[in-house]
Amino acid sequence: MPTANPGNVNLEYAIGLKPEEAIRYFESKGYVIDFNWHDVDARAHATSFTVAGILKQNILTDINSAFKKRLDDGGTQRQFDQQLLPVLAQKGWLGTGLKADEDGVLEGKKLTPRRLRTIFETNMQAAYNAGRYEEQLANADFRPYLQRVGIMDTHIRPSHAALHGYTARIDDPVWQFMYPPDGYHCRCRVRALSQADVDKRGVTIQHSEIVEVEQAWGPNDSRRVSAIKWNGQLYTPDAGFGHNTGQGYLAALGQRLLERSAVAEPQLASLAVRQTLGNETLLNAVSTDVNAFVNNTLLNKQALGQLRHVGALPPQVVDRLSDKGMAVESAVITLTDENLLHALRDSKDAQLPESLWQRLPEFILNPRAILYNTQKADAALTYVLDLPDTFGKLVVFIDRELKARPPGGGKKSG
């Protein structure tokens, strides 16, 4: 993790406040453990609490608890250090080099006060901006534009200074990867504007060209990431960023609701899921997350036991299946990376378009038709989908047993 110190980060709009949305976002995070920052997918940072090199969850919990207390009471970096440094020192985690237990088993990299400052600043920015984004979405009908604001002093990096004043609609896909923080020590924020604000200030609404570029990802790897062409320059968020923390929170919220529905009574679950995904903002966040899951699976080209819930059977389908003597155990529809790779291998002659995977929850929510497939040995439904300029079909198996890791990580479970 970089330790460059570009001056005091201005968190005056976060410190001293108690933003309920920021606290709720931070409390929603699970844990991800990895030795290197580049082993954690960028989007995982939006939904999980992680510190590169910390392999012991009890230490992650100590750091998490100290940050959560500062977020609750509006505390400062100094108070964060005062609470955490003695704990880390007592447990042997303060300093440089590697940390091993008494049997010589590696536990991770030790922490310095300078690195703790980076951890504090990055998490405070992410939590507060996730809260701001949630508020902005709720007020989008009245303030439909977002404008990026930088701290225009000698410490701001030139690429961020060039984006000061950049304004686009709140539903512009650019905010999926360019919503701050988009780099270590980033102090930028985003404010919402009404049409009257735009007219009064003579603001130009941007429609920048979004492109895919190759970005170094760790010492020996690279990944395809989103970037914009802006004023003749190519702008890409720092590696490990490039995700909207607020959207990540909403996607995680959607997955948790679907996870709960998977073990609920099918008819009630079906109604709950359709109501949940009927919220356009939540549907878009879940679709964006599913699209990232698909892209990562295609990049890895191997099944890692990952899954995403993508929708649920409609209530009338649950009823019809029951009439046929097929009382389903779960109404929730789940896509695993193994299913995805299998589907792509089997559809070489009629490849399903990329747009299907990008918007899979939306297509599952609004199919052209759902047919009961009597030709399959095990019970299956065929979803007929309206795709751009064509039709497509997906096969959904009923109550198929699978084992996979949940979206937040962890061990495989049934």
Mean pLDDT of 22-48: 44
Which tens digits make up the pLDDT trace of 263-287?
Answer: 788 888 888 888 778 877 778 778 8
Query: Hey, what's the torsion of the CAs at 29, 30, 31, 37, to 10 degrees?
Result: -40
Top-confidence residue, 333 or 208: 333
Q: What is the DSSP letter of 328?
A: -
Both structure tokens of 38: 């580049």
Structural domain spans, the chain: 1-131, 139-243, 265-397
d(C-alpha 150, C-alpha 144), whole Å: 20
Top-confidence residue, 71 or 24: 71
d(C-alpha 348, C-alpha 124), whole Å: 46
pLDDT category of residue 11 using cuts at 50, 70 and 90: very low
pLDDT of residue 412: 57
pLDDT of residue 406: 53
Residue from 339, 386, 62, 6 nearest 183 by CA: 6
pLDDT of residue 57: 66
Which tens digits make up the pLDDT trace of 275-322?
Answer: 778 877 778 778 878 887 887 787 777 787 888 889 999 989 998 888
pLDDT category of residue 200 using cuts at 50, 70 and 90: very high
Top-confidence residue, 394 or 370: 370
- Residues forming a β-bridge with 277: none
Q: What is the pTM of this model?
A: 0.56
Angle separating helix axes 337-346 and 280-300, nearest 10 degrees: 70
Whether the predicted pLDDT of 34 surpasses 80 = no
- Residues forming a β-bridge with 99: 108
Which tens digits make up the pLDDT trace of 78-99?
Answer: 887 888 888 888 888 788 877 6
Mean pLDDT of 168-182: 88
C-beta atoms surrounding 261 within 10 Å: 22
Which tens digits make up the pLDDT trace of 88-127?
Answer: 888 887 888 776 667 666 666 778 888 888 877 877 777 7
Lowest mean pLDDT among 19-28, 124-133, 187-196, 330-339: 19-28
Contacts for 207 with CB less than 8 Å, ≥ 6 apart: 168, 172
Angle at 154 between CA 152 and CA 159, to 5 degrees: 65
Average pLDDT, rounded, for the chain: 76
Both structure tokens of 117: 């400052």
pLDDT category of residue 253 using cuts at 50, 70 and 90: low
pLDDT of residue 207: 83
SS3 156: coil
